Amino acid sequence: MSRPLILQQYYTRGRQGIFRANEGYDTVAKSPGLDNQFIKKTLHPFCVYQAPRQLQERSEADVSRYPKALVCFRAETGELVLGQSVFVGADFTGQRNTFFSHNYVIPAERSDVFIREPARIFGVESFQKQHDEAKGKELPGLDELPYKQGTTGQDRRQVLQRLGIDQTVFKQLLHAIMLSLSGKKKVFISLPGDIAESTAQAHQLLEILYTCLPYEMRRHFGFLTYSDEPQSKKHIHLMFVEAGSIRPGNGQNDKDFLFDFASQRLLNTELTEGKHEYLDFAWEFLQDSRILASFHEFCEEVLQGADRQTGLSLVTYYQLCALYQIEKGRMSVYENNRPAIWQVLNHYLRQAQLLKKDRLHELMRAIYLLETQALSQQHWPEIELVKQIADSYSVARNEVEKAEKVQYVIDVLSKGKNLLKTSYVAEVYQHVSGHRDLFHALMRQVLGYKVLVKPLFEEYLVERLKAVATITQMLKEIEFWAKNAPLAIRHPFFATTTIPKLIGLMIEERKRLDAAMQIHHFFDSFAGSPSYAEELLDEVDKTLLKKVALDTLSQKDFDQILSLLEDKPQTFFDGLDLEARNKLDMMMNVASLEELSEIPGPEEFFRKWDRNDIESQQRLLQNMLVIPLREESFAKVALIFHVADESQQAAFRYAEMIAYVGKGGGDEAVHAFLQWAMTQRMFFSGKLLEPAFRHALKSFFAEERGQRLRQKEWRKRWYAIRNADFRKLLDEVRNETTHPLVKFFRKKSTAVTGLIVLVAAGAVSGYLYWQPGTQPANGDAHEGNEAPARVRVPQQVEFVPVYKLMVDPKIEPVLMQPALPEQAPESPTEPIPQDG
């Protein structure tokens, strides 16, 4: 299959072009395979030329004195564009000066040949400077471009010396170009001397710099060897400009890399501090093209499959340069910074997209052997080196290499413990524990050799547990071992160390039940050893039973504990101590109430328990009761207030019981409770209420002077409770809390009623008699005079019942007084009348 051809394009001022029918600047000829849109969007922006000012000012007629503008860049579609624009003097009219551009478009698949051989770019001899319109508008495709060899290795430093470029400036130039490929800054260079000579010098300098660029950078590097002034053009990273055109401070190029050799002024070109491995390497081997090419081939192999960002990063080639030199035997590069070299190797070997890693693996293998030999000779490695070698476990090619890395870590840990390097060993452990696969392999190796178990596993585990201070931390520690070293959990030492630690933390907790539930929830999804989990949970539950205070449990707490115990085997219960067993029995006794259709009496329910146990169960029952109380809870209330002390006369704490029921539901609850109580033999002595119960009830109803029996509705409800002795008790309370006067009226109701009627009748008669304007019954009257004055009854009179007068003698009756004379008009001559 034939390879694709190199296509051509001519651009100048003509009578007509490809895209215009009249005279003007346009593409005047092209290869048939060249796309028109590609020409317009990609080539036309670079078909420009502005003659140097110094030549225009002197009206230079010799066109050979005008600089050639060589352009090279990679198009967005992948093709390599190589072109030249030159000043050609007068156009076809003979009246206007013009230029001529000739561009080659090299297919992407053929561009690497030009990139690897810079002479094919800088030594092209086939650029045209004119076009014969008579030959038409079609240009042939080319198979090859003729070229000449460029500068030889022996000439390069001489070229730089002639240009006044020393080692420092050369490194700055190369550094700026490499940075421009991965950033937005451009590189602008102006050379001293005659403008015509500077074009040739620009070609030579650019070819030297281009030779030092790695292949991937060359693929994306764009340059222009002449422009009348600095311009920011797409695809172009470096531009040579006319002397005097770089004007710092104009705001356009202040941030770019400016090498104004014509004015002996460099801006933004300083190298950062530190070593610049590749710049040093490029300068050292500037004369030896073979070594530079060998390094570039090394980079190509290592970076095969890498992304563009990696291929254009300056740091990438600093790193690869160090690896290349070590591979070639320059071990001083390794000795200067061994951890950094391991870090670089690990970095590239981890990148899955890299396709060829054999040389890197071989290099790592070689320096690993050096490190094992050094360790065996008691050369102690720095901690960062050990960490990087440990990290290389993840990039090992096979199990043999992985085992070697594990053995290296074991050797470091063992020697470190023997030398009492405590902090050093701890740091190695900390680093290794962060790599799951490595830690798993390490512990598997350690547990496989009895001599290593105690120093590298048991002592390490004890040290880790010293930092654990809470249950949450302890559970995370167990989870760590389950995920990273499951073999360790099955080791007996792990259980004998971690279980007591967890139990101790649980005992320290104020809410032990919550702590136990947290542990159980953790092990619900535990992926480690089942036997370890079972052993640990059994110890947790035994401790919970032993340490829990029954009188603090709520119904929820009680149910949670029972749920933890319901699936336990008999061996668990057989292993309980006396204290835990006793608490369990009490809990089961209380739990049995939920299964009984009828709750037994207190004597039967508590028959086998001593006083302290009974009180514990009573407090537990009290905590579990639902408020407000329901009728089905009344029997439990009786259990709660049962008196376990046989020395006491009463079987219940009646007053407390009644108060508790009232607090848990008010008088409604007490009413319901008493209805239930009147059916229970335990509250009676024969047919009568227990004396203590009767006394407590009497005190209850006598509160606030018998207020509960004063309200008619409630009085009916209390009397509706069917028990003669209870009703008698209510009568007693009413009698004892009634006012003495009310008692009197109840006993002497007939006599008192008659007396009240007589007194009332007399009071009314007297009142009517003494009203103003009332005549005597016998018709007596004083002749010529008004009726005699009478005692006035006050208009505002407070009515006082007769019985209050009898009860409270301090109430004063209204006294009859002489009538006051009526007030006459104020006159000094009219006397005031006096009573006869």
Predicted confidence (pLDDT) per residue in 371-424, tens digit? 999 999 989 999 999 999 999 999 999 999 999 999 999 999 999 999 999 999
pLDDT of residue 149: 82
Residue 577 pLDDT exceeds 60: yes
Q: Using the Cα atoms of residue 270, residue 276, residue 281 and residue 282 in order, give the sign of their dihedral.
A: negative
pLDDT of residue 152: 58
Specify the 3-state DSSP secondary structure of 427.
helix
Q: What is the mean pLDDT of residues 723-738?
A: 92
Q: Tokens 């104009």 sit at which residue?
A: 250
Distance separating alpha carbons of residues 417 and 720, to the nearest angstrom = 89
pLDDT of residue 465: 97
Confidence (pTM):
0.76
Q: Tokens 């000066």 sit at which residue?
A: 97
Q: What is the mean pLDDT of residues 694-714?
A: 90
Residue 153 pLDDT exceeds 90: no
Closest by CA to 768, choosing from 793, 785, 789, 796, is 793
User: In this predicted model, what pLDDT tens digit does every residue of 591-649 receive, in sequence order?
Assistant: 998 888 888 989 899 988 999 999 999 999 999 888 888 888 899 999 999 997 766 66
Residue 749 pLDDT exceeds 60: no
CB 205 within 8 A of CB 197: no
Percent pLDDT > 70 in the chain is 87
Encode 800-831: b = buried (16+ Cβ within 10 Å), e = exposed.
Answer: eeeeeeeeeeeeeeeeeeeeeeeeeeeeeeee
Distance separating alpha carbons of residues 86 and 66, to the nearest angstrom = 7
Q: What is the mean pLDDT of residues 732-741?
A: 81
Write out the two tokens for 702: 């006598």
pLDDT of residue 796: 52
Q: Provide the H-helix boundaries in 600-664.
A: 602-605, 611-624, 634-640, 654-663
**Residue 86's beta-bridge partner residues?**
100
Q: What is the mean pLDDT of residues 706-714?
A: 89
**Minimum mean pLDDT among 489-503, 524-538, 812-826: which range?**
812-826
> If phi over 0 gives left and psi between -120 and 50 gives alpha, with beta otherwise, what is residue 305?
left
Distance separating alpha carbons of residues 119 and 135, to the nearest angstrom = 30
Closest by CA to 634, choosing from 568, 582, 682, is 682
Backbone torsions φ then ψ of 684, nearest 5 degrees: -120, 150
pLDDT: is 508 or 150 the higher one? Answer: 508
pLDDT: is 445 or 769 the higher one? Answer: 445
pLDDT of residue 707: 87
User: In this predicted model, what pLDDT tens digit does every residue of 32-44 receive, in sequence order?
Assistant: 999 999 999 999 9
Q: At what angle do helices 399-418 and 383-391 cross, to 10 degrees?
A: 150
CB 264 within 8 A of CB 165: no
Give residue 748's pLDDT band: very low, low, confident or very high (50, 70, 90).
Answer: low
Closest by CA to 729, choosing from 700, 772, 759, 765, is 700
Residue 830 pLDDT exceeds 50: no
Q: Tokens 């190199």 sit at which residue?
A: 6
CB 439 within 8 A of CB 486: no
Closest by CA to 105, choosing from 234, 12, 224, 8, is 8
**Residue 221's beta-bridge partner residues?**
none
Most trustworthy range by pLDDT among 6-15, 643-652, 729-738: 6-15
pLDDT of residue 779: 44
Q: What is the mean pLDDT of the chain?
A: 88
Q: Tokens 């002390």 sit at which residue?
A: 645
